């Protein structure tokens, strides 16, 4: 597997407080990787380490196969953008001028890309506005336009949807999906909004107390093995015979309910149930949700 970002036994301590405890993490190229964990789990610390804002106390992390401890890492970091905690910009100059400032900082000579990036985040009409006058959602979008300068291959976003109204959340979601799909930008996004994260992420990493507890792809979550169908019927005995003949795994929960460990295909199942004389009162497909995976992985005691 080609990982654009990879941590191996990464450690960070503040005094006696071990914040990252041999953290392992693998971000495939082209992924939208959701970093999930309760407050204080170490998500921001991980991003700060990758960005070079702080140094590790052990282990390693590779960005595009270059160790963050190596001398070449500064060249590699040019291919990465980060928005950690809040987007940084100058409040007293305009939106466009902020993007141009970022061009100067990143030694991008073609300032006309400022308008292209502002259009990407639907801020083209506000390009002349003073940055301090922007709403929170607009500030996040300006942050992403500035992050685009230098054509990064990977963007790290720390809680990009925090505090945004529903429209702001939808805007950021669409921008992330667009940049991922059309510009092949890999994203690492920390977020507490599991439902929102599940609408964009292709992979997840669950962090608790500075350790990676589990990594799982959205595809694995969706897999049949994680989907069940609850069948309510007065004919559980006949149902068991039919499910056996269909070679499906199931559990009879009571005299009126069975859980099948698969997603039943209604068009295939209903005629067979009718033919077998089984009365079906209801049939519910229970897809595994990110929230269920979170609860199963982290335990109910941790509130995200
Ligand atoms: P949140 O979801 O609340 O942003 P997080 O997962 O991003 O949490 P971090 O901000 O990485 O968590 O913090 C992890 C731990 O490191 C916390 O216990 C925090 O108090 C501690 N910490 C972070 N920065 C420092 C610092 N500069 N000095 C001392 N401790 C710190």
Token couple for 114: 């400022």
The tens place of each residue's pLDDT in the chain, 304 residues long, gives 789 999 999 999 999 999 999 999 999 999 999 999 989 999 999 999 999 999 999 999 999 999 998 989 988 998 999 999 888 899 999 999 999 999 999 999 899 999 999 999 999 999 999 999 999 899 999 999 999 999 999 999 999 988 888 888 998 999 999 999 999 999 999 988 888 899 899 999 999 999 999 999 998 887 756 778 899 999 999 999 999 999 998 999 999 999 898 888 888 899 999 999 999 999 888 777 888 888 878 864 344 4
Kindly state if the Cβ of 14 falls inside 6 Å of ligand 1: yes
Distance 194 CA to ligand 1 centre (A): 20
- The pLDDT assigned to 195 comes to 86
Query: How many angstroms is it from 159 CA to the middle of ligand 1?
Result: 14
CB of 186 closer than 8 Å to CB of 33: yes
Backbone angles phi, psi at 52, to 5 degrees: 85, 15
Positions of E strands within 43-197:
58-63, 66-67, 80-83, 154-158, 186-190
Q: Which atom of ligand 1 is nearest to the CA of 48?
A: 11
Nearest to 12 by CA among 25, 3, 27, 26: 25
Question: Strands (DSSP E) along 95-223, which ranges?
Answer: 154-158, 186-190, 203-208, 211-217
Q: Is the CB of 45 under 6 A from ligand 1?
A: yes
Q: Report residue 59 as tokens.
A: 């282990």
pLDDT value, residue 303: 45
Contact indicator for 196, 169 with CB cutoff of 8 Å: yes
For residue 277, what pLDDT is reported?
Answer: 96
- 4 SS3 class: strand
pLDDT score recorded for residue 301: 39
| pLDDT for the residue 224 | 57
pTM above 0.85, yes or no: no
Mutate to test the pocket of ligand 1, among 43, 162, 206 (most ligand atoms within 8 A of CB): 43
Ligand 1 centroid from CA 160, angstroms:
17
Taking each helix axis from N to C terminus, what angle separates 236-245 and 266-275, rounded to the nearest 10 degrees? 120
């Amino acid at each position: 597997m080609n990982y654009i970002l990879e941590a191996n036994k990464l450690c960070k301590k503040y005094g006696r407080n071990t914040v990252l405890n041999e953290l392992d993490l693998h971000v495939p190229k082209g992924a939208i990787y959701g970093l999930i964990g309760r407050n204080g789990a170490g998500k921001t610390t991980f991003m700060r380490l990758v960005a070079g804002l702080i140094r590790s106390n052990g282990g390693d992390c590779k960005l595009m196969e270059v160790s963050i401890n190596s001398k070449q890492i500064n060249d590699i970091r040019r291919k990465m953008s980060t928005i950690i905690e809040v987007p940084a910009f100058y409040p007293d100059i305009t939106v466009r001028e902020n993007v141009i400032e970022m061009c100067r900082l990143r030694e991008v000579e073609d300032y006309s890309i400022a308008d292209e990036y502002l259009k990407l985040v639907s801020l083209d009409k506000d390009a002349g506005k003073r940055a301090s006058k922007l709403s929170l959602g607009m500030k996040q979008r300006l942050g992403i336009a500035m992050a685009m300068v230098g054509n990064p291959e990977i963007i790290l976003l720390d809680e990009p949807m925090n505090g945004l109204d529903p429209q702001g959340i939808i805007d950021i979601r669409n921008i992330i999906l667009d940049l991922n799909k059309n510009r092949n930008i890999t994203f690492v996004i920390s977020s507490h909004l599991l439902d929102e994260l599940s609408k964009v992420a292709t992979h997840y990493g669950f962090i608790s107390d500075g350790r990676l507890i589990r990594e799982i792809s959205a595809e694995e979550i969706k897999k049949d093995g994680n989907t069940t169908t609850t069948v309510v019927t007065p004919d559980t005995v006949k149902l068991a015979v039919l499910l056996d003949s269909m070679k499906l795994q199931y559990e009879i929960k009571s005299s009126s309910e069975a859980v099948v460990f698969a997603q039943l295909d209604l068009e295939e199942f209903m005629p067979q149930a009718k033919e077998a004389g089984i009365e079906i009162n209801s049939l519910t497909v229970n897809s595994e949700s990110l929230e269920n995976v979170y609860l199963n992985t982290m335990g109910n005691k941790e509130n995200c």
